Amino acid sequence: MTSIVTLNSISKGFRDGESFHSVLNNVSLTLEQGHTIALTGPSGSGKSTLLNIIGGFETIDSGDMFIYQNNRMCSVNQWQDKHWSQYRRQNLGVIFQQFNLLTPLNVRDNIQFSLALNQLKWNPWCDELCHHLGLTSLLDRSVENLSGGQQQRVAIARALAHKPQLILADEPTGNLDQSAGMQVMQLLTDLAKQANCCILMVTHSEECAQFMQQRWHVENQQIVVNAIDKKPRG
């Protein structure tokens, strides 16, 4: 099993005026290729902070972080913006609750945008993604006229189009009703498996967590790693 992200004793906090608020304290973790992880924990415990650190949107205060890139684990401690941009373009797919689509564009152009960042062209995997996500007949439709569930499926196609090694998802079904949310979760996990993508997903929903293999629970500045206790479906 290949490790794609390793955190060694990392700590992160935020300054608030004179005081310092510690959020993550001496956290060590490894993300493995193809694994799916639900990131759970109370509000304000540090879930988004951890996601932001792994995506390179936040820096760590101390510790070491390594990322698998160009066939080796690289220390990111000295990385500059250009290294993070390259990593995000090539190796990361991001799915947010608010979809974050390019609203003046149609479905095809939204997906093509993420391909173009990696000098990739539309390919059979894109057709397959659109087929499974029910987007084939919507490719020429402007994304702003689509339903919430349809927009979220476009966001998934866009995140997976370049087959990144890691998908970071923050409450990806938070804006959908229960049935659309479960459908989106099923599609996301099936397609990520086909592309051998790891998923790290922040969720408050036990139903969504059930789609993942592992749980990282953030509490008291630490992360407890557990297998998901699968409940029988139906």
Ligand X SMILES: Nc1ncnc2c1ncn2[C@@H]1O[C@H](COP(=O)(O)OP(=O)(O)OP(=O)(O)O)[C@@H](O)[C@H]1O
Given the complex with ligand X, which of 18 and 140 has the nearer CB atom? 18
Pairing of strands 3-16, 19-32: antiparallel
49 forms part of the interface with ligand X (CB under 6 A): yes
Collect all residues with Cβ–Cβ distance below 8 Å to 156 and sequence separation of at least 6. Answer: 95, 129, 133, 172, 184, 187, 188, 191
Given the complex with ligand X, which of 41 and 172 has the nearer CB atom? 41
Per-residue binder mask for ligand X (CB under 6 A), 129-148, x = binder? --------------------
Binder of ligand X out of 3, 48, 142, 213 (CB under 6 A): 48
44 forms part of the interface with ligand X (CB under 6 A): yes
Nearest Cα to Cα of residue 71 among 54, 93, 90: 90
Binder of ligand X out of 46, 56, 93, 164 (CB under 6 A): 46
Closest separation in Å from C-beta 23 to ligand X: 5
On the 0-12 / 13-18 / 19+ scale of CB atoms within 10 A, 40 is buried
Task: Give phi and psi for 184, each to the nearest 5.
Answer: -65, -40
Given the complex with ligand X, which of 50 and 143 has the nearer CB atom? 50
Given the complex with ligand X, which of 8 and 221 has the nearer CB atom? 221
Closest separation in Å from C-beta 6 to ligand X: 20
172 forms part of the interface with ligand X (CB under 6 A): no
Given the complex with ligand X, which of 133 and 223 has the nearer CB atom? 223
Number of chain residues interacting with ligand X (CB under 6 A): 10
DSSP sequence for 118-159: TT----HHHHHHHHHTT-GGGTTSBGGGS-HHHHHHHHHHHH
Closest separation in Å from C-beta 19 to ligand X: 11
164 forms part of the interface with ligand X (CB under 6 A): no
On the 0-12 / 13-18 / 19+ scale of CB atoms within 10 A, 177 is exposed
Cα R_g (the chain), whole angstroms: 18
Binder of ligand X out of 17, 18, 19, 43 (CB under 6 A): 43
Point out which residues bind ligand X (CB under 6 A): 14, 23, 41, 43-49
